[in-house]
Structure 1
Amino acid sequence: MTVDTASPARRRAAGLSRDERQVTGPLRGYHHETYAFPLAAESGLSGRFTRGKLREPRPGLLWFDRRCFRSEDRLLIALQGRIERIPECVPVEEELFLQGFIEGSTLGSGPVRSRTLSTRHTDQLGQLFRELAGIKVDELKDVERVCELEDKPKNGDTTAFLKRLIHFTEEKVYGRHADQFGTLFEELGVNSAALEGLRTRSEKLTSRPFTLIHGDLHWHNFIVDGADDLWTIDWELAMIGDPLYELATHLHLMRYPRREEARIARLWRTEVESAHPGCSVGWDEDLPHLLAYKRIQSVFTDVIRTALALGPGPEPDRLMLPRAARELQRVLAAAQDLQSRPNVPTLRQVMSAYTSWFRSSAP
């Protein structure tokens, strides 16, 4: 890639690098265009980092999750010294930030088939739960937020918190994209009735004090470094809210075996209570409601994401279609008890739905 054809983000990364020939990227990630590069002598980062990371938001993205903080980088700066293993971050220009690049591999690149954590990583996950729960609502008041006033329920109102999540998925994901993806939703048996049912069943959640939530703790947002330490990256979906939502999101995304899921839930309860008493009250009664929301949220978002991944063009990508349809079928099956459709679509039916939609919509 020449300088003339490089993206603005790639050119900025080259300008910050000690050697522009060693800039790597764009790295994997949906929300940002990201590059890693060797640090110049006066980078502003501490000596424990040999490479830096520049992340710039991708324009025109569809957001499937509520956002709370305007800038992930400013949040990371505010969390320095509060949460141990997160990227260090320094400003370069007014709205341009440099993060320390964590050398290692994602937790998801290891033996994910076992879907269990080592004792060391379990302890460090517990530390992260404890550190997050220890950060109270007013301790991040100087970090600018983007959520609307109604998206800031009163501290402890966990029922209102879940209702705002449901509202976001109903209005900003399903409703906003109904014109474009409505026929696809219909053919797959997806509608908003499941969200309304969940809203009705979740009227009386137990009050818990709000804390900081990472909101996206999955296999690929944990980096294992050379010392076998677990670092947490990608904080763009962080929010202030019900700490139990952190556990629900983590369990949903990690897809642990049942015994491991129970072990991690007990770990979460112990750690959050030690940091912020009251954070786990009523957790066992309320967790099924939050897990149900995560399952039905995945249906709406994955139907759209799959369509985007298979295009553009008048036909879906034929090589990708079987695998993508199989994964979506798994998501539909996981939320089957929440939906009105009596049967999960077969693999053939899912593939046919996407083929029909592409031919009629020509994205």
Structure 2
Amino acid sequence: MSPNSTSPARLRAVGVSGDESVVEGPLRGYHHETYVVPLPGATGVTGRWKCREPRSGLLWFDRRCFVSEEQLLRALQGRITDVPDVFEVGGLTLQRFVEGRTLGSLHGAGRAVPEAFTRQILRLFGEMAAVTARTLPVDRRCSPEDRPADGDTDGFMERLVCFTEQRVHAENLPRFGSLFAALGLDDDAFKRLRKHVAGLHERPFCLLHADLHRENIVVDADRRLWTIDWELAMVGDPLYDLATHLHLMRYPSWQRPRVVEAWRRTVEAVRPGGTRGWREDLERILGYKRAQSVFTDVIREAVSLGREARSAGPGVGTAAARLHTILTGAVLPLGLESVPGPAEIAAALVRWGRAHPDAEEPPPDTP
């Protein structure tokens, strides 16, 4: 019997498929336990579908705006090209499993993305720019204060900074405070970050994917790009979506400005004013993304090391090198006076690991 054979997600997958032998999974993923099943008993339904359940006890580092990803996908049918279909069976709402390979598996981070694919990515940005909160009939879970007025880009950014400050930093201080301090992340870091991002130009809001990277883009057999994992989607500043995309995609230096210019032309044509002030604001928003990564990645690296963090070794050295790069990239937005070297970071990770012997390694299918 496999470790997941009695999990609620697997039992549901077996129930909707009617045959345990055809259930594939769990798929590699962090936030959900996901299985893929065919639906042979459903009239007119072809292909395979995802049956999933949220994992419990996870660290959440990003805001959720919409109550249901499936409800959002249903609303986007016919408005956004190539997003997964949604189907209800037995009281469950399932997403179609897109057959293909991720863009990252074909063209890894740092490698150029073929022009045929960038054209489709830019078309997606244009289609999202045409979708506004007023025209999107989807229930939202975010509080009223997390919904600034249309065009209030400073208010939008402030809510993102607040989330990072309160939900990522403050809520994890009891466990990770000593590690933050050892890396030079003091109580004034967020004051300096707010100063760095203040004074953004106003831009009309639209739908944002907010997590558009190579592993969330699937290339099918016809070389069509399908955009998956809309769980972090929100309504807000279109330039934030571009900044997030650039931060995560890691385009080569020669291709990045071409993507930015094509984004500017595409979005401005659909939503006039949607790119206003981009030259001044893009680097500031990218600064926020780099600062956000510091806090999330410090926690992720420490947790991922698990028991390995209790003594110096190759894993700790690799994690320390990654964190040194991330901290160096956030010197300006966080106003850091200095960055500890890899050896100092490794020592801090070991001290933290020894002080937290209950640290557990992540599930085997966690990325």
What range describes the TM-score normalised by the shorter chain of this pair? over 0.9
1:316 offset after TM fit, Å?
6.4
Change (3 A) 1:288 1:30: same
Q: Report what 1:64 is aligned to.
A: 61
- For 1:145-294, list aligned pairs within 5 A: 145-294=140-289
Please identify, of 233-242 and 16-25, the stretch whose mean Cα deviation from structure 2 is larger.
16-25
Q: Distance in 2 between matches of 1:178 and 1:211?
A: 34
Q: Report what 1:16 is aligned to.
A: 16
- Contact 2:312-2:350 at 8 Å conserved across structures: no
- For 1:38-53, list aligned pairs within 5 A: 38-42=38-42, 45=45, 47=46, 50-53=47-50
1:201 offset after TM fit, Å?
3.5
1:44 offset after TM fit, Å?
6.5
Please identify, of 157-166 and 346-355, the stretch whose mean Cα deviation from structure 2 is larger.
346-355
Q: Report what 1:310 is aligned to.
A: 305
TM-score (norm 2): 0.92
2:102 aligned with 1:106:
yes
- Contact 1:19-1:38 at 8 Å conserved across structures: no
Q: Report what 2:364 is aligned to.
A: none
Secondary structure of the structure 2 residue equivalent to 1:153: coil
Q: Distance in 2 between matches of 1:206 and 1:248?
A: 15
Q: Distance in 1 between matches of 2:157 and 2:60?
A: 18
TM-score (norm 1): 0.93
Please identify, of 307-316 and 222-231, the stretch whose mean Cα deviation from structure 2 is larger.
307-316
Q: Distance in 2 between matches of 1:115 and 1:230?
A: 17
Letter in 1 for 2:120: Q
Change (3 A) 1:5 1:38: closer
Q: Distance in 1 between matches of 2:227 and 2:80?
A: 9
Secondary structure of the structure 1 residue equivalent to 2:75: helix
- Contact 1:219-1:254 at 8 Å conserved across structures: yes
Name the count of aligned residue pairs. 358
- Contact 1:44-1:90 at 8 Å conserved across structures: no
**Cα deviation code 1:39-92 (max 9, x no counterpart):** 3230774x4xx2111122111222111110111111111111111111111223
- Contact 2:17-2:38 at 8 Å conserved across structures: yes
**Which of 88, 91, 94 matches 1:91?**
88
Q: Report what 1:79 is aligned to.
A: 76
Please identify, of 79-88 and 293-302, the stretch whose mean Cα deviation from structure 2 is larger.
79-88
Q: Give unpaired runs (5+ residues) of structure 2.
A: 360-367
Please identify, of 241-250 and 315-324, the stretch whose mean Cα deviation from structure 2 is larger.
315-324
**Which of 108, 120, 127 matches 1:124?**
120
Change (3 A) 1:316 1:264: farther
**Cα deviation code 1:307-355 (max 9, x no counterpart):** 1111158826955323222222221121122344433322222221111
Secondary structure of the structure 1 residue equivalent to 2:58: coil
Q: CA RMSD in A?
A: 2.0
Q: Distance in 2 between matches of 1:60 and 1:79?
A: 30
- Contact 1:224-1:231 at 8 Å conserved across structures: yes
Q: Report what 1:320 is aligned to.
A: 315
Q: Distance in 1 between matches of 2:325 and 2:347?
A: 16
2:336 aligned with 1:332:
no
Secondary structure of the structure 1 residue equivalent to 2:87: strand
Q: Distance in 1 between matches of 2:205 and 2:154?
A: 12
Q: Report what 2:35 is aligned to.
A: 35
**Cα deviation code 1:274-320 (max 9, x no counterpart):** 22221111111111111010000000000111111111588269553
Q: Distance in 2 between matches of 1:219 and 1:77?
A: 23
Q: Distance in 2 between matches of 1:132 and 1:40?
A: 34
Q: Distance in 1 between matches of 2:314 and 2:88?
A: 43
1:192 offset after TM fit, Å?
4.6
The share of aligned pairs that are identical, in percent, is: 48
Secondary structure of the structure 2 residue equivalent to 1:311: helix
Q: Report what 1:298 is aligned to.
A: 293
Secondary structure of the structure 2 residue equivalent to 1:99: strand
